[in-house]
Structure 1
């Protein structure tokens, strides 16, 4: 093994690319740069959650190598340690390979972080590629605090634990002025939204980003008191939720676009006395 002193990487090993995927089905590529596509086209070894879905993604990108000639290795939350070591050996043997996310960015609420960590420990170069991240896209468009936020991934399954988690997130959001970001399995989105409407305080801000980057995209930010009258069906649609609560006894200044703004000082007319 030879080592690059400047980067701490094994110069004989392959590179591990982290390959994002669209956040939903769309026949048109609206999210992946040409550079990402060219990198994917150069690879024939992939670490994927589901081989069938990975094949569909590669066909969508018009990958030049037939799927039966590509090497696929299943990488999910049930992957045993010995299989991870096998994947690591592929990279150590000088093969460039990529982790393909099913949606969004690999290793973010998605399998892959263990293999990425092993790659770093083995001096293997890791390259994240540009693509859609529902976490950042939803935060950008929410109007909530983008300076301080926490992503919690998936909430517990419906029940007492989830209800307590929601209340705790609201309490911590108010105490620390942080945006709380979380997800749910799509077929339970409507149920989660209804629980948020019920459990959160009326002044708490809730934002829902639905079908992000797709033609049917919806991004709605309201106080819970206003959400109660909002009719929206997000069942079985990719969605991400954000909340921002206020400390008791405080309120945000209201602003009306119709309010008359003062002219800048240098543009005010001087009045002769």
Structure 2
């Protein structure tokens, strides 16, 4: 008996022609296709004349269906997991199932496909050698601001997904917290109304001032210039650890990140620097 496999199958993020020959072959041969949105997946299958039985698998039934799918796989049936668009598990359901399959010794086979984050990144005009994918920022503004503060010292290019309903607020938060950096905002990438708006954050925010953006949004944001993070010894050699910390934080770096950077620059244990950082909290409370 051949080895049972769970296929993690990438599907187009917009243009239906972006599917691979291998993905089509897998979708035609498996016993079942677990789909985030069965109606949307059915449109894809109809386009390529694939007759397959669908299983609904989304964030609200992920736990229950993961157990059921594992049982089906253990009985010898092969299943392909697909999301609405792109690669399952990337800001979409999939992790719980693949994790459970791994625990059960079931082979998980990735069938690579497009993702909005890499498509937007490579055509953004921003550095691609190092980047970090953050998925969706928190919905609530306070939590969103806190997360952006934590990312304030990140030197790699930042990639986000965002709802069109929160885009303006997120751009304003980025401008206020991270400064006026280079940015590219992609709307409906690979689809009929694909649009890229790029420039400084303030310019892109201005573009949307009198417009209510629609569609799926991907944001590519320039990281912090490394030169802004690493001060030459002359800039801090006469400072105390506390003053050095404050210097970093005045530049918009979070206290947590400032502790790490100061410890690294001064060649000190992080604990020693953290003990000094506690004084900052005490001063604020006074």
TM-score (norm 2): 0.70
Question: 2:12: which partner in 1?
Answer: 22
Higher normalized contact order (CA 8 Å, seq sep 6+, divided by chain length): 1
Q: Aligned runs of 1:1-273 on 2, under 5 Å?
A: 12-24=2-14, 26=15, 29-65=16-52, 70-72=53-55, 74-79=56-61, 81-169=63-151, 171-173=152-154, 177-202=155-180, 204-231=181-208, 233=211, 235-247=213-225
Q: 1:36 is paired with a residue of what secondary structure?
A: helix
| Unaligned 5+ runs, structure 2 | 229-286
Q: 2:126 is paired with a residue of what secondary structure?
A: coil
CA RMSD of aligned residues (A): 2.7
- Measured in 1, the distance between the counterparts of 2:148 and 2:185 equals 15
Question: 2:283: which partner in 1?
Answer: none
Deviations 1:7-40 (A, max 9, x none): xxxx65421111222223x5xx331122211221
Q: 2:165 is paired with a residue of what secondary structure?
A: helix
| Unaligned 5+ runs, structure 1 | 1-10, 251-273
> Is 2:158–2:221's contact at 8 Å kept on the other side of the alignment?
yes
Q: 2:134 is paired with a residue of what secondary structure?
A: strand
Deviations 1:141-188 (A, max 9, x none): 12223222211111111321112222332x122xxx211211123433
> Is 1:155–1:165's contact at 8 Å kept on the other side of the alignment?
yes
Deviations 1:77-136 (A, max 9, x none): 333645322210111111111111111111111101111122222222222113211111
Q: 1:136 is paired with a residue of what secondary structure?
A: helix
- Measured in 2, the distance between the counterparts of 1:60 and 1:110 equals 23
Q: 2:59 is paired with a residue of what secondary structure?
A: coil
Q: 1:147 is paired with a residue of what secondary structure?
A: coil
- Measured in 2, the distance between the counterparts of 1:64 and 1:194 equals 47
- Matched residue count: 228
Offset at 1:71?
4.5
- Measured in 1, the distance between the counterparts of 2:28 and 2:49 equals 8
- Measured in 2, the distance between the counterparts of 1:127 and 1:200 equals 39
